[in-house]
Structure 1
Amino acid sequence: MDISIKITDRKGQAHEVKVPTDMGLNLMQVIQAYELEPLGTVGMCGGKLMCHTCQCYVQNDVDLPEKREEELGTLSRLLHVKSNSRLSCQIPITPDLEGLEIELAPLF
């Protein structure tokens, strides 16, 4: 089953992407696979909660997994954090994400 996700890149351009829910992907990997940002500027730590490059802002009310303590700790050290900030590496792709809209946070 594929779902649709709207991703606004750091230049403000919106992209609607189709994503399979049966491959065990996370949102960071989707951003990388669609090459929505230059190589190496999203997920520099490989999803190990050690950088800020996959931070995004959730723009609509979709049922996301709760932020774990590790994600909260990383977010507490970052710039440009908002109440709707998430690390895209911590959002697994599931059917519940149908219609999700995110905006990538600035790098600096």
Structure 2
Amino acid sequence: MASIAEQLAATVGRFPPPSLAVVIAELKRERGMRERVYPRLIDNGTLTEEKALFQQRCLEEAIDRLEELLSAERSRTPASPAKGPVRAPAHVNALPPAGDAGVA
């Protein structure tokens, strides 16, 4: 059976790289899972409270840093253009009648 790392490597060509927002959402999902699972792991001795706190702190730091990066990225990205070409009102592009130089 292939390891998780091997299975993950096999997906690289099948899936586009996740956006920063998707990565943050996945880390938040992981945070929620740890909040539910870690107490049981600590109770049964599989994980020490100190290690759990450290891992949660690292995860929180990763989320915070990526959210800052996303915020900075969004502030640098111009707003998406309007759909379709932007046209000036008809009178702006109208040509003066032939022979009229526009001077009185």
- Does the TM-score normalized on the shorter chain lie above 0.5? no
Greater fraction strand? 1
Higher relative contact order (CA 8 A, sep 6+): 1
Greater fraction helix? 2
